[in-house]
Structure 1
């Protein structure tokens, strides 16, 4: 019985930690690029994208979990508005 509890804890705790971080990522950056452009079509420019809040073209591209992360968070460099997420 103790082994079963140990194994359950060994699996459940990392799963809960993963779920928490994934849910936080989706809560902080709920829109994908396609969803962002559907809501703000004026933000697509000839040279890329711009902020829907202030109109700045200077965007911050941060990895979620480190610089080499595949999940990226895009926010405005000027007003710090969270814009969209990219998952490769």
Structure 2
């Protein structure tokens, strides 16, 4: 788990933004293929989801279970954050 994954798990939007501003990869995958966006969507943190998307997180990356972050985002009702996606 990277610091960015950890910040997403802790729902720490400020830390996510700081890490991204210092060059963290928003699409890095952990040992299960989850991106920080998968984690933020699963923890129901709209602010974190939005921050990751604004910084280029790809909602279409699949984890090892075949789940896309976009599916979790829609399931959790964060559809509005997707309006800021470049994907």
TM-score range, shorter chain: under 0.3
Tell me which of the two structures has the higher relative contact order, counting C-alpha pairs closer than 8 angstroms and 6 or more residues apart: 2
Structure having the higher Rg: 1
* Higher share in helix: 2
Q: TM-score, normalised by structure 2?
A: 0.23
* Higher share in strand: 1
